[in-house]
Structure 1
């Protein structure tokens, strides 16, 4: 795996979690609109589940998925941060942390570090080479 792909894993997992959180909100909103039919009866010994029950089960399952993904994200960020801390240049470390741990845009990174975008991309290229060396030694 190339350095940029390795570092970007956390960004993509974070986006995946955010998508699931949006889906959870949509399901919660939908569950509040579901009506319960109290006239349903058991027929032939089959258990009939209500739309409300189905919605709640889906919400619970999605909540568990989100929690599992958050656990993975925390572990992944910790691992990536350990790798970033092995980079010798502090400027490269700060850039990598801002971009791949904090998820900041290139404009925000450039502004916070006081560099223009082309300088940020040059430092980023240097940092990626260092990370690639570190990951190939692991």
Structure 2
């Protein structure tokens, strides 16, 4: 069973996880659109025995599926970002909020976080731990996709 602090960290990590997933889907969509452009010669093509869709039709169907999935992911990211933003905004200390923003919204490592904020790596980690403990003390944090919000 995960500790409350681990649950908070997993909750906060969702933001970047969703962004990465959307990036992958957007790249796949771009590849499909490129393929559709390459297969435009098939628009007027004859079907063989009328039982198989031509490549362009298959590609267009895949593009529509990817666009729908991408829109769903964008909505999920928006909800996740809002939930994570609310949680971070609830932290009392401005220093601690800044560390959480750098780590979980900007995706910075410890060294980059400390450098950007003018803190030693150790101080940044200490501020992070204090913020996570504060959030853990406020309630249970679960994945946004579970239908529950902090």
Gaps of 5+ in 2: 142-149
The CA RMSD measured in Å over matched residues stands at 2.1
Specify which of 2, 6, 16 is matched with residue 11 of structure 1.
16
Contact 2:15 2:105 in 1 (8 A): yes
TM-score w.r.t. the length of structure 1 is 0.84
Moved over 6 A (4+): none
Q: 2: distance between equivalents of 1:121 and 1:84?
A: 16
CA drift at 1:109:
2.0
User: Which residue in 2 is equivalent to 1:91?
Assistant: 95
TM-score w.r.t. the length of structure 2 is 0.78
CA drift at 1:42:
5.1
Specify which of 75, 78, 82 is matched with residue 82 of structure 2.
78
Contact 1:110 1:116 in 2 (8 A): yes
Paired residue total: 135
Specify which of 129, 140, 148 is matched with residue 136 of structure 1.
140
Gaps of 5+ in 1: none
